Amino acid sequence: MLRTTALVTIVSLAAGAASAETLRWARAGDALTLDPHAQNEGPTHTLNHQIYEPLLIRDTTGAFEPALATEWSVNEDDPNIWTFKLREGVKFHDGADLTAEDVVFSFKRAQSENSAMKELLTSIEDVRAVDDLTVEFVTDGPNPILPNNFTNLFVMDKGWAEENDVTEVQNFADGQTTFATTNTNGTGPFTLTSREADVRTVLEQNPDYWGAGEFPMDVTRIEFTPIQNAATRVAALLSGEVDFIQDVPVQDLGRVDGTGGLVVKDTPQNRTIFLGMNIGADDLTTDSVDGANPLSDVRVRRAMDMAIDRAAIQQVVMRGQSAPAGMIAPPFVNGWTEELDQITEADTEGAKALMEEAGYGDGFTLQLDCPNDRYVNDEAICQAVAGMLGQIGIKVNLNAQTKALHFPLIENGRTDFYMLGWGVPTYDSEYVFNFLVHTKEGDRGSWNPTGFSDPELDAKIEALASEVDLEARNAAIDEIWQRVQEEQLYLPLHHQVLNWGMTDAIQTEVDPEDQPKFKHFTMN
């Protein structure tokens, strides 16, 4: 591990002394909302995982384990039906019993227009309660990987939602707030005590949690503080003001790991960082080219790909804590191949020749929208890319801002050039295609503002959900990836590496999904 020394300013977080059972947790950004179906975003899911629960979940190896469901199977007589048996004796935080009706309500809510989770449920035609503890999912054709889509689908209490007028999902993209934005009623190991978005969230252990005898449950209180500034975040850990940070800056790994009483744990993450481009518009709003869209020319997109020196980003910006990528899926994912993931070698002269051939030898200006509190060194990566593109005549105006402002640009299609990171909780390429490749329409393509649309490719993507011949399905996945690569639809940068920093009193394994589940933590 690279060891460096960084000058940081230690500032008080107004945190008092904490008992061994209190976990003081920090990361760069906050959850965007507490509505469990309004945003399909990592930090949002992470906080909600402490409060709400899905039917099943993955452990740190990627294997399924039961959560609210104890067993699930395909109907022997009808392969279009999946049956899930619910855990007995589970109660919501307000004391209401979990029943199959709550699951039916939650999944239908997650299928609704405002839900950011609907792409995961496109193959489901109906959800029905057989009895109080049995739920059936009816699919449009057999779906052999349906459970893969459920690990971040949280179950709400139908009665609570009706009582508090939150049966509809919050319209996050339009800035709506609802009771569910800052209030919760889950079945999870922790209950919400207080919530001040972007400042502080406090959770207390659920005394009636069904898993009290199955998990360590050493953590009795969680005090979560988002700390955007990297130096301040590290200073808080070094000074003992927080116990656990999810995103140790790469330049401070050695310092944290070399400090007595602290440790750094790492693992490859199930997430790829990439750049997206508006290739479908007739004209762009943030470039210097009038009456034309230079990004619509695949030669320009390939030139941009060739201009990016991924090895330099890995070495200089990421300090070795990344794996340069040639596709927007990490090795965890079905459909990933070493061949597809081969990176484009940096070739400035070759890129200039392509720009000249496309008629843009004199270059142009273009705005790059980038978050500054979501991914590891996100703004620094964008700065590096801007410099590299400048070498081929593309002057980049960098617009770096908090993810709360950045993500609506993508969701609402108001960006020409942007950074995004994509994890694949289903461990299958269909997830990537549904959100990022399929035409943005209906219940698919919600994170695809590129303007790319191909009905024939859309049909191939939709067919994946009901293809039971896994060999044929994998062949179709490869065909779709080949097309994505040929079109240079995105500019992959790298697969992230996770680094968690913590006191040595904490025992845990790093989750490739970057979703710590604090019920598993032990505190020595």
DSSP string over 20-51:
TTEEEEEESS--S-S-TTT---HHHHHHHHHH
Instruction: Please determine, for residue 9, whether its predicted confidence score (pLDDT) is greater than 70.
Output: no
Rounded CA-CA distance 291/96 in Å is 60
pTM comes to 0.90
Q: What is the rounded average pLDDT of the residues 423-431?
A: 96
pLDDT in tens, 154-197: 999 999 999 999 999 999 989 999 999 999 999 999 999 999 99
Please, where in the chain does CATH 3.90.76.10 lie?
56-162
Please, where in the chain does CATH 3.40.190.10 lie?
22-51+173-267+498-523
- CATH class of this structure's domain 56-162: alpha beta
Rounded CA-CA distance 124/87 in Å is 22
Q: Which two tokens stand for residue 221?
A: 């209180």
pLDDT in tens, 323-358: 999 999 999 999 999 999 999 999 999 999 999 999
Residue 86's closest CA among 94, 75, 74, 98? 98
Tell me the chain's radius of gyration from C-alpha atoms: 23
Q: Which two tokens stand for residue 226?
A: 């988002």
Tell me the pLDDT band of 442, cut-offs 50, 70 and 90.
confident
CATH code linked to domain 269-497 = 3.10.105.10
**Is the Cα torsion angle 255, 269, 35, 173 positive or negative in sign?**
positive
pLDDT in tens, 130-156: 999 999 999 999 999 999 999 999 999
pLDDT in tens, 352-363: 999 999 999 999
Instruction: Please determine, for residue 4, whether its predicted confidence score (pLDDT) is greater than 90.
Output: no
Q: What is the rounded average pLDDT of the residues 421-441?
A: 96
pLDDT in tens, 196-252: 999 999 999 999 999 999 999 999 999 999 999 999 999 999 999 999 999 999 999
Return the CATH architecture of domain 22-51+173-267+498-523. Answer: 3-Layer(aba) Sandwich (3.40)
Beta bridge partners, 244, equal 25, 502
